[in-house]
């Protein structure tokens, strides 16, 4: 009889535990976000440059997976980048703008109207540097 009890009690306990206790829904579990998020206000003149030459490939709505994974400009304003990530993205933009390597050659050939003018490149580069500096001093 004691062998039966030793087998039946764990089985009953198992059944009770998994059937009577309420199940936790994943959306009820809240995680604690330990990293604060940062966002940048983009002035109208900068936004117009980004809209003309960058947003097409570097936004959440882009079909260019590689472009939006490398840099998603929507995350500059929606707070999805941490401070360090945002600084790194701004540094990357500064390098690209300094080298004048965006948009890529194939894209430039197909859409010459999307190429940054020298003035647009300069304005955007100055803005990126100021934003990066401001973030590093916060």
What are the residues whose beta carbons fall under 8 Å from the beta carbon of 56, sequence distance 6 or more?
Answer: 62, 64, 114
pLDDT, averaged per 10 consecutive residues of the chain (138 residues), comes to 70 67 48 65 93 91 89 88 89 93 88 93 94 84
Residue 16 lies in a domain: no
Q: pLDDT of 57-78, one tens digit each?
A: 898 898 988 988 999 999 888 8
Residue 82 lies in a domain: yes
Cα atoms in the Cβ-side hemisphere of radius 13 Å centred on 97: 24
- 């304003």: which residue's tokens? 77
The reported pLDDT for the residue numbered 122 is 95
- Burial class of residue 74 in the structure, from the number of CB atoms within 10 Å of its CB (0-12 exposed, 13-18 middle, 19+ buried): middle
H or E stretch covering 81: strand 81-82
Domain that holds residue 68: 31-136
In total, how many domains does the chain have? 1
Residue 130 lies in a domain: yes
């Amino acid at each position: 009889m004691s062998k039966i009890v030793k087998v039946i009690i764990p089985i009953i306990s198992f059944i009770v535990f998994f059937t009577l206790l309420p199940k936790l829904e994943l959306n009820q579990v809240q995680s604690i976000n330990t990293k604060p998020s940062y966002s940048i206000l983009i002035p109208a003149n900068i936004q117009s440059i980004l809209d003309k030459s960058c947003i097409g490939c570097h936004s959440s709505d882009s079909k260019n997976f590689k472009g939006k994974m490398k840099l998603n400009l929507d995350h500059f304003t929606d707070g999805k980048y941490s401070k360090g990530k945002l600084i790194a993205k701004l540094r990357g933009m500064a390098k690209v703008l300094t080298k004048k390597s965006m948009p890529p050659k194939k894209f430039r050939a197909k859409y010459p109207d999307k190429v940054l003018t020298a003035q647009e490149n300069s304005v955007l580069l100055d803005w990126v540097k100021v934003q990066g500096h401001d973030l590093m001093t916060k």
